Amino acid sequence: MRSSRGIPGSPALALLPLLLLMGGCSDAYKPVIIVHGIFDGPKELEGLSGFIEAVHPGTEVVLIDLLNYKFSMAPMWKQVDEFGKVIKSIMQRSPEGVHLLCFSQGGLICRGVLSLIPNHNVHTFISLSSPLAGQFGDTEYLNRVIPALAKTKVHLFCYSKWGQRLSICDYWKDPHYTSAYLRNNIFLPLLNGEKEDSYLAEWKENFLRIKKLVLIGGPDDGVITPWQSSHFAFYDSEENVVEMRNQEFYVKDTFGLQTLDARGDLSVCVQSGVKHVEWHSNFTVFTSCMEEWLV
C-alpha cells in the first residue's frame, strides 16, 4: 500500500493559465468522471474539473448532473442505479477506459456502481474524503437531515424502514449497535461484505477490475467521522479507531480490498489542514494525491 502525506495549499486557480502551457499531449488521457457528494451538485466540483483540464489538457471531464442538492438524500441503492446508468453510457463510448473520481457520499455511490457493473473499464477509482467504512458523528450534515437527534439516538431512526429511505442512514454505522446495523441497514453492510449475500463473489470480481484505488482523507476534515473512515478504518465498540488492515472485511477480503493491497494497487493519501468542503478546490491535494493517477 502506498501512502503519502502533505501540507495543503491554496486552490491556486491563478496557476491554471501557466499549467495549460505546461500540459503535455492529450492523446494518452482517459476521460475522468466526477460524482458529487451529499447536498452538492456539479457546480461545487468545477474547480476540480479545472485542475484536471489545466494539468492534462484535452482530457474529457464529465461532471455528472444528477440527484443534486436535496435530491442527494435519495436512498443509496437508487443513487447507485441512476448514477450507474450514466457512468455505464460514458464507459461504452470510451473503450480505452475511464477514471472515476468521487467525493464524499459519492465515493460510496461509485463503490456500488463498480460492484454491480460487470466488465466495466474503470482504470483508477479515486475516493475523495468518503465515509467508506461508515459514518458516526454529530456534524452539520447530520443536523440538516435529522436535526432533533444526537448521534447516540440516530440509530433509532436510521435503522428503521423510514430511515433507510435517506442516504445518510444507509451508511450510518453506530459501533454500539452493531447487531441492529447488520440486521436493518440495507446498503453498507452488503457493500462491505459484512453480512452474507449471494452476490458478494460477483460484486468482488467486478470491483477488482479496477487497476488502482486511491483513498484520500485527513484529520481536519470535520465531517467524515472518524476521518479514518475515508481509509476504511472505523471505531470499535469503545470508539477506538481500528485501522483498515484489522477490519474484518479486510482480513476476510470480502470485497477485494486485501487483494488490491497485495497487488500494490492501493494508494493512501493523508492531507492535514483540509476541511471537508475544501478537498475538491485544493490544488495541493490534487497534485499530491490525484494528478499522477489521472493519465
Is 89 among the catalytic positions?
no
> Rounded to the nearest 10 degrees, how much is the dihedral formed by the CA atoms of 78, 81, 87, 92?
-170
- Give the helix ranges, DSSP H, for the chain: 16-22, 46-55, 76-92, 105-116, 140-145, 154-158, 167-170, 178-184, 188-191, 200-207, 248-251, 257-263, 283-285
Burial 180-200 (b: 16+ CB within 10 A, else e): ebeebbebbbbbbbbeeeeeb
Among 177, 264, 270, 260, residue whose Cα is nearest residue 219: 270
Catalytic residue among 276, 280, 281, 288: 276
Measure the CA–CA gap between 275 and 270, rounded to whole angstroms.
Answer: 13
- The reply to whether 14 falls in a domain is no
Report the CATH number at residue 134: 3.40.50.1820
Measure the CA–CA gap between 32 and 90, rounded to whole angstroms.
Answer: 10
Catalytic residue among 49, 72, 104, 130: 104
Would you state the pLDDT for residue 26?
47
Measure the CA–CA gap between 193 and 196, rounded to whole angstroms.
Answer: 7
- The reply to whether 179 falls in a domain is yes
Would you state the pLDDT for residue 148?
63
Would you state the pLDDT for residue 55?
96
| Chain mean position to CA 230 | 8
- The reply to whether 11 falls in a domain is no
Total domain count, the chain: 1
- The reply to whether 17 falls in a domain is no
Is 49 among the catalytic positions?
no
Cis peptide before 226 (omega within 30 of 0): yes
Task: Flag whether pLDDT at 5 surpasses 50.
Answer: no
Tell me the three-class secondary structure of 234-280, residue by residue.
Answer: EECCCCCEECHHHCHHHHCCCCCHHHHHHHCCEEEEEECCCCHHHHH
Contact 126, 216 (CB under 8 A): yes
Among 204, 207, 211, residue whose Cα is nearest residue 264: 211
The amino acid that residue 217 corresponds to is G
- The reply to whether 81 falls in a domain is yes
Alpha-carbon Rg for the chain in angstroms: 18
- The reply to whether 150 falls in a domain is yes
Q: H-helix or E-strand containing 100?
A: strand 98-103
Cβ-Cβ contacts under 8 Å for 25 (sequence gap 6 or more): 58
Would you state the pLDDT for residue 138?
79
- The reply to whether 8 falls in a domain is no
Residues of the domain holding 76: 32-293
- The reply to whether 76 falls in a domain is yes
Catalytic residue among 221, 229, 265, 280: 221
Residue whose C-alpha cell is 467486478: 206
Among 80, 69, 82, 75, residue whose Cα is nearest residue 106: 80
Is 104 among the catalytic positions?
yes
Among 106, 166, 174, 105, residue whose Cα is nearest residue 137: 174
The amino acid that residue 250 corresponds to is Y
- Span 16-62, pLDDT tens digits: 444 444 444 445 799 999 999 999 999 999 999 999 999 999 999 99
Tell me the HSE value of 280 on the side-chain side, using a 13 A CA sphere.
Answer: 27
Among 38, 46, 47, 59, residue whose Cα is nearest residue 15: 47
- Span 188-236, pLDDT tens digits: 999 999 998 999 999 999 999 999 999 999 999 999 999 999 999 999 9
- Span 117-173, pLDDT tens digits: 999 999 999 999 999 999 998 777 777 777 767 788 999 999 999 999 999 999 999
Task: Flag whether pLDDT at 293 surpasses 60.
Answer: yes
